[in-house]
Amino acid sequence: MDNAAFSITQMRVSYARKEVIKGVSVSIMPNTVTALIGPSGCGKSTFIRSLNRINDLIPSFRISGDIIYRQKDIYDKETDVVELRRRIGMVFQKPNPFPKSIYENIAYGLRIHGLNIKDTIDETVESSLKKAALWDEVKDNLKQNALTLSGGQQQRLCIARTLATQPEVILFDEPCSALDPISTAKIEELIHHLKQSYTIIIVTHNMQQAARVSEYAGFFLLGELIEFGKTQELFTAPKDKRTEDYITGRFG
């Protein structure tokens, strides 16, 4: 599929000789939400963490296969990893703002990327917070320490921080697992809006969440992608017995 954002063929990942992804092939469509589900330790987090090469930080990490993003091999020696990570943003499981002000959390990345015009930074901070549906709650307290926000607000701040660097893709690694249901609903709504402008891949333990937010879904089990397809089909008419067992709650 030429118009795919990601084309992945035979991805294999191991940590210190233990294989955790065993030959996964899949295409991810641009401007869609793709949800990855599966029990703990099935490799779904490792999978998305391999797409922005954040796993490179782990010394024992080894990967093989073709992992193509926009016609370019992510793991090619020529690839500019820093630029790649800017284009493929990531929101982590635990909200992790820096212990700085709300404003600084967003502005600091911009400044390091060489943006020095205060008005432009102000505008980007505002527009990012608006896109992350946080602006109305924090606009009067931008100088406040980000750690004083609630967990859900912190996670939306992290999303705003990612949006500010203008990525093309946003990877969500279980973004709601530490949040209460109301905050979760807000983030889901946000993801729904964001897909118009971004390609989104979300790893989640929560199957209702996957069903609610995504158009495509994949089921991982023991390092293999058991099934991948339209979310509706995967949840209503799974082709594989194991997928059916998992989504009906027979294991996992």
The footprint of other proteins (CB under 8 A) covers 52, 54, 57, 59, 82-83, 85-87, 89-90, 92, 94, 96, 98-99, 108-109, 112-113, 145, 147, 158, 161-162, 165
Cβ 49 to other proteins shortest distance, Å? 9
Task: Give the nearer residue to other proteins in terms of CB position, either 96 or 248.
Answer: 96
User: 101: how many CB neighbours lie within 10 A of its CB?
Assistant: 18
Q: How far is CA 116 from CA 55, 112, 193, in A?
A: 31, 9, 29
Task: Give the nearer residue to other proteins in terms of CB position, either 113 or 250.
Answer: 113
Task: Give the nearer residue to other proteins in terms of CB position, either 114 or 181.
Answer: 114
Cβ 251 to other proteins shortest distance, Å? 31
Cβ 209 to other proteins shortest distance, Å? 22
Q: How far is CA 90 from CA 22, 94, 159, 188, in A?
A: 23, 12, 8, 16
Residue 77 DSSP symbol: T
Amino acid at 91: V
Task: Give the nearer residue to other proteins in terms of CB position, either 53 or 242.
Answer: 53
Residues in Cβ contact with 214 at an 8 Å cutoff, skipping those fewer than 6 apart: 32, 33, 34, 35, 202, 231
Cβ 147 to other proteins shortest distance, Å? 5
